[in-house]
Amino acid sequence: MFWVRDKSLKRELEPTIRELKFVLKRIRSSPLSIVGIVLISFFLVIAILAPVLAPPPEGWRDPYMIPRDGFSVTPRPPSPKHPFGTAEGQYDIYYGCIWGTRTAFRVGVIVIGCTVLIGIFIGSISGYYGGKIDEIFMRLTDVIYAFPGIVLVMVLVVILGPSLESVMIALILIGWPTYARLIRGEVLRIKQEDFVEAAKAIGCTDFRVIVRHILPNAIYPLLAVASLDMGSIVLTVAAFSFLGLGAPIGYADWGQMIALSRNWIIGTPTNPYEYWYTFIIPGIFIFTFVLGWGLLGDAFRDILDPMLRRR
């Protein structure tokens, strides 16, 4: 009896095991994918261990505000007390980069998560029902696409008031049409399949058909695009912080760290690279984080691309 149950369980798990082996095989066949996974894992460890790697001063109310070691405008070079040196205003670069990793993950996850959810909802409803509903939603996406994205984000940030939260809200409001159109196209293709017609024939509700039968088969391209967009979102937020429209001065954000170095990119006439650490170190954090998500997105694309799936 137990032997029969074990065989039945093994048959049920066999497709999952085959899928897992296929995923691992695709990852092993792409060294760059492994590099992306290692980079993102490295930053994830930094974000989790931020209170240990860069503990806030005792009694510090907001750990995301960078401690200062004075008020001098001239940066100080790396030292045992400040491993990465200090920026303009004596903000600790090491502390800002470590806690800036948490900011990067928070911004990326919230913005991508919200845009994906909105895109899935609108795209699936639009593609499944069609008609006037589809027309209304698609014309709304056309209106958003008619404006240059960066300009529209700037306008929304100015209206809402410059802050990190305003930039995130603006990116969500203009970012969902990409996912909505992507999921709509997949829904239009899949809803013609026989298994969808069979689900309707046995009396499944529209909600069950969409959630249980269509979305699981339509979500894969969206996941690949979302992973690629994680890095670009963080880069965009860093750019707005650099322009003074994002994180406030002294906030642990990589773009804000670069903004504090703008007056020191060119050092003194005798030593043009005297203050290299003020922009090179935060720049490396931004570059490797975005690179990691780009490589990871390529890995997801290779794994989820139906043209590469085994038969």
Tokens of 182: 């992507």
Mean pLDDT (the chain, rounded): 84
Does 1 fall in a domain?
A: no
The pLDDT confidence band at residue 21, using thresholds 50, 70 and 90, is low
Does 21 fall in a domain?
A: no
Largest Cα–Cα distance of the chain, in whole Å? 85
Does 18 fall in a domain?
A: no
Residues 6+ apart with CB under 8 A from 154: 245
Instruction: Give dist(CA 94, CA 83) in Å, integer.
Output: 6
Query: What was the pLDDT predicted at 26?
Result: 66
By CB neighbour count within 10 A (0-12 exposed, 13-18 middle, 19+ buried), where does 288 fall?
middle
* pLDDT per position as a tens digit, 242-281: 888 888 888 999 998 998 888 888 877 777 788 899 999 9
* pLDDT per position as a tens digit, 221-237: 888 788 888 888 999 99
Of 36-40, 197-201, 279-283, where does mean pLDDT reach its minimum?
197-201
- Domain region containing 117: 29-308
Query: What was the pLDDT predicted at 1?
Result: 45
Instruction: Give dist(CA 137, CA 177) in Å, integer.
Output: 9
Average pLDDT for 91-111: 94
Residues 6+ apart with CB under 8 A from 126: 133, 134, 137, 138, 180, 184, 187
Instruction: Give dist(CA 282, CA 26) in Å, integer.
Output: 33
Would you say 277 and 84 are in contact if contact means Cβ atoms under 8 Å apart? yes
Query: What was the pLDDT predicted at 310?
Result: 47
Residue type at 68 in one-letter notation: R
Helix, strand, coil percent content, the chain, rounded in steps of 5 = 70, 0, 25
Does 210 fall in a domain?
A: yes
Q: What is the pTM (predicted TM-score) of this model?
A: 0.85
* pLDDT per position as a tens digit, 40-52: 999 999 999 999 9
Does 139 fall in a domain?
A: yes
Query: What was the pLDDT predicted at 302?
Result: 65
Of 4-8, 97-101, 113-117, 287-291, where does mean pLDDT reach its minimum?
4-8
Q: Where are the alpha helices (DSSP H) in 29-92?
A: 31-48, 50-53
Average pLDDT for 11-32: 63
Tokens of 73: 């405008």
Does 152 fall in a domain?
A: yes
User: What DSSP designation does 70 have?
Assistant: -
What CATH number is associated with residue 184?
A: 1.10.3720.10
Query: What was the pLDDT predicted at 27?
Result: 64
Average pLDDT for 84-107: 93
Instruction: Give dist(CA 228, CA 294) in Å, integer.
Output: 5
Residues linked to residue 299 through DSSP beta bridges, in sequence order: none
* pLDDT per position as a tens digit, 107-156: 999 999 999 999 999 999 998 888 889 899 999 998 888 888 888 899 99
The domain total for the chain is 1
The pLDDT confidence band at residue 167, using thresholds 50, 70 and 90, is very high
Residue type at 249 in one-letter notation: I
What's the Cα-to-Cα distance from 113 to each of 137, 188, 226, rounded to whole Å? 20, 23, 9
Q: Is the pLDDT of residue 62 over 50?
A: yes
Does 107 fall in a domain?
A: yes
